[in-house]
């Protein structure tokens, strides 16, 4: 089931990359690269930081095929993708929930401190989008108004709190991932943003 979620998340991330790249009038090669980087960039940076190379997408071809298929689909149906906006948003949100917890567990396996593991989880979930925005010559959207990362951090803190309770590790995984998803959904629904530090300016 995790594998299915992972693939749905990859599709959502790749399509978000295609839409940004089309918006920047890139050529087909540029669109493919931006989609690829958005989908695998976060996990790649995580793997490089902990020294787990070759990085994961180089060893499981499924992701490459899924990304290429998503790009072809998104380019052909780009004018109709609006109808899928809600599904894509859901896939994307479920994907970040999963990636956060997977990243945390990779940190734990590398014997890193909980705070560093949460940072790794957040990097896994968010830095594909950061690299996408840098390649498109934009300040990363996540640094300005998204609660995306905050959801990951809250989910990560829950993960370590839940581990202290007498519950199954699969349940910890699922609940922490669920918290990321719920926080993000609520934040978007109620337009919650981080408190601004610019009030008095």
Between 75 and 84, whose beta carbon lies closer to a copy of itself? 75
- Interaxial angle between packed helices 148-163 and 85-109, expressed in degrees from 0 to 180 and rounded to the nearest 10: 40
Q: How many residues bind a copy of itself (CB under 8 A)?
A: 52
Least distance to a copy of itself from the beta carbon of 174, Å?
A: 25
* 176 in Cβ contact with 143 (< 8 Å): no
* String marking each residue 97-136 x if it binds a copy of itself according to CB under 8 A: -------------x-xx-xx--x----------x---xxx
Cα-based distances in Å from 119 to 86, 103, 106, 156, 174: 28, 9, 11, 8, 19
When binding is defined by CB under 8 A, the residue of 8, 19, 21, 181 that contacts a copy of itself is: 21
What secondary structure letter does DSSP report for 190? T
Residues of this chain, 151-180, that bind a copy of itself according to CB under 8 A: none
* String marking each residue 39-78 x if it binds a copy of itself according to CB under 8 A: -----x---xxxx-xxx--xx-x--x----------x--x
* 184 in Cβ contact with 93 (< 8 Å): yes
H runs (alpha helix) in the chain:
2-23, 28-50, 61-76, 85-109, 114-135, 148-163, 169-189
Between 116 and 182, whose beta carbon lies closer to a copy of itself? 116
For residues 31 and 22, give the distance between their C-alpha atoms in angstroms, rounded to a whole number: 7
Which stretches of the chain bind a copy of itself, using CB under 8 A?
A: 21-22, 24-31, 33-34, 44, 48-51, 53-55, 58-59, 61, 64, 75, 78, 110, 112-113, 115-116, 119, 130, 134-140, 142-145, 149-150, 193-198
């Amino acid at each position: 089931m995790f594998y299915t979620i992972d693939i749905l998340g990859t599709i959502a991330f790749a399509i978000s990359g295609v839409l940004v790249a089309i918006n920047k009038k890139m050529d087909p090669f540029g669109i493919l690269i931006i989609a690829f980087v958005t989908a695998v960039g976060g996990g790649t940076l995580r793997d490089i930081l902990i020294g787990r190379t070759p990085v994961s997408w180089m060893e499981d071809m499924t992701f490459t095929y899924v990304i290429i298929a998503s790009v072809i689909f998104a380019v052909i149906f780009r004018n109709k993708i609006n109808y899928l906006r809600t599904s894509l948003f859901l896939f994307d949100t479920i994907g970040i929930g999963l990636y956060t917890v997977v990243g945390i567990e990779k940190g734990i396996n590398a014997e890193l401190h909980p705070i560093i593991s949460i940072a790794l989880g957040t990097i896994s979930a968010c830095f594909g989008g950061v690299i996408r925005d840098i390649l498109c010559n934009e300040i990363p959207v996540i640094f300005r108004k998204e609660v995306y990362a905050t959801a990951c951090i809250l989910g990560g803190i829950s993960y370590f709190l839940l581990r202290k309770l007498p519950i199954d590790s699969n349940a910890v995984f699922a609940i922490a991932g669920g918290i990321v998803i719920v926080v993000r959904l609520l934040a978007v629904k109620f337009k919650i943003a981080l408190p601004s530090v610019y009030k008095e300016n």
